[in-house]
């Protein structure tokens, strides 16, 4: 039986996708309470709500893994023990297995899984910590260089290889992925690809582009622009400071994306999955 070993402070950035671009690790923000889900999120955190028998979080990780990322840092908080238990017992949840009983039980998974080789680090970042506080809390687990940061409840078919190429091409510290509606998300005003203003959750949408996550941040951006304070929301002052410094660029995503915030949205993605019409399923 595999046991949970010590958490290693630094991550080796060795994953390379089939187009030769090194894939950085990913931080997934999955600590919120998911209040819009009502009773559905009473016993499990929203990113662990199932679609097709797998948590939303798994779908996002599986999509990132398609582009070479196999190193995941999960910033957990509300009901974080559910996330930890799922990945600690992943083979039990995901595959058939044989268990040898006795005083020293052993578990043997029957067959490999697409997740073979993933490194999943779960960090408790606090019950009420803001998104910026969560990012800063886990930053010491990330080596120098870029890191993908995204939300644990947004399904999308973002081409991560092209996102990373764009990030590396402009030479600035941060990239946000921008896409069309809905207007309840952070509005981005752009000049070319440079972000001129970032307004979180405003009414109106002058350019039809909003923040959908899938950030690429250099570690310097985290250390310089996100203070080590639990209450900090990344989408507020830290991003405004990055904008003011000319360090935030926008990668335009024209494909599918959907925030899964409500029971209706959860039902929508389940129907898409059942109908074999799930655009975020970029793997086969």
Instruction: Enter the DSSP assignment of 49.
Output: S
Distance in angstroms (rounded) separating the CA atoms of residues 111 and 154: 30
3 state DSSP class of 141: helix
Residue 161 in tokens = 């290889």
Q: What whole-number distance in Å separates Cα of residue 184 and Cα of residue 175?
A: 21
Indicate whether 20 pLDDT > 80: no
Q: How far apart are CA 153 and CA 261, in angstroms?
A: 7
Q: Residues, the chain, total?
A: 284
Query: Mind listing the domains of the chain with CATH numbers?
Result: 26-273 (3.90.550.10)
pTM value is 0.84
Q: Where are the beta strands (DSSP E) in 62-193?
A: 71-76, 97-100, 106-109, 119-124, 146-151, 154-156, 174-179, 187-191
Count the helices and strands in the chain (H runs, E runs). 8, 16
Whether the Cβ atoms of residue 118 and residue 66 lie closer than 8 Å to each other: no
Which of 158-162, 177-181, 238-242 shows the lowest per-residue confidence on average (mean pLDDT)?
A: 177-181
pLDDT score of 19 more than 80: no
Residues 68-114 have pLDDT tens digits of 999 999 999 999 999 999 999 888 888 888 989 999 988 888 877 88
Residue 13 pLDDT: 33
Distance CA 11, CA 133 (A): 20
Report the alpha-carbon distance of residue 235 to residue 131 in Å, rounded.
8
Interior CA angle at 30 toward 83 and 194, to 5°?
Answer: 150
Alpha-carbon gap, residue 247 to 30, rounded angstroms: 26
C-alpha 280 chain-centroid distance: 14
Give CA–CA dist 10/25, Å, rounded.
11
Q: For 200-259, what is each residue's pLDDT tens digit?
A: 655 444 457 889 999 999 999 999 999 999 999 999 999 999 999 999 999 999 999 999
Region class of 102: left (phi > 0), else alpha (psi between -120 and 50), else beta? left
């Amino acid at each position: 039986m595999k046991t949970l070993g010590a958490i290693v402070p630094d991550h080796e950035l060795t994953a390379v996708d089939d187009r030769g671009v090194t894939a950085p690790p990913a931080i997934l923000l999955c600590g919120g309470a998911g209040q819009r889900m009502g009773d559905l999120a009473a016993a499990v955190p929203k990113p662990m709500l199932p679609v097709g028998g797998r948590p939303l979080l798994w779908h996002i990780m599986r999509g990132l893994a398609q582009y070479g990322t196999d190193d995941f840092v999960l910033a957990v908080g509300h009901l974080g023990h559910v996330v930890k238990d799922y990945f600690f017992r992943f083979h039990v949840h995901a595959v058939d297995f044989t268990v040898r009983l006795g005083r020293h039980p052993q578990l043997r998974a029957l067959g490999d899984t697409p997740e073979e080789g993933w490194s999943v680090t779960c960090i408790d970042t606090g019950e009420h910590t803001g998104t910026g506080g969560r990012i800063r809390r886990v930053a010491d687990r990330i080596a120098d260089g870029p890191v993908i940061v995204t939300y644990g409840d947004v399904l999308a078919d973002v081409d991560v290889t092209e996102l990373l190429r764009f990030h590396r091409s402009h030479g600035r510290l941060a990239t946000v992925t921008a896409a069309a509606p809905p207007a309840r998300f952070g509005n981005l005003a752009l000049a070319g690809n440079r972000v001129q203003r970032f307004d979180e959750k405003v009414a109106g949408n002058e350019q039809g582009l909003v923040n959908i996550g899938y950030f690429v941040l250099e570690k310097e951006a985290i250390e310089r622009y996100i203070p080590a304070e639990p209450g900090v929301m990344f989408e507020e002052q830290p991003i405004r400071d990055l904008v003011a410094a000319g360090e935030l660029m926008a990668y335009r995503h024209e494909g599918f994306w959907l925030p899964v915030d409500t029971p209706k949205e959860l039902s929508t993605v389940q129907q898409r999955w059942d109908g074999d019409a799930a655009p975020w399923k970029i793997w086969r």
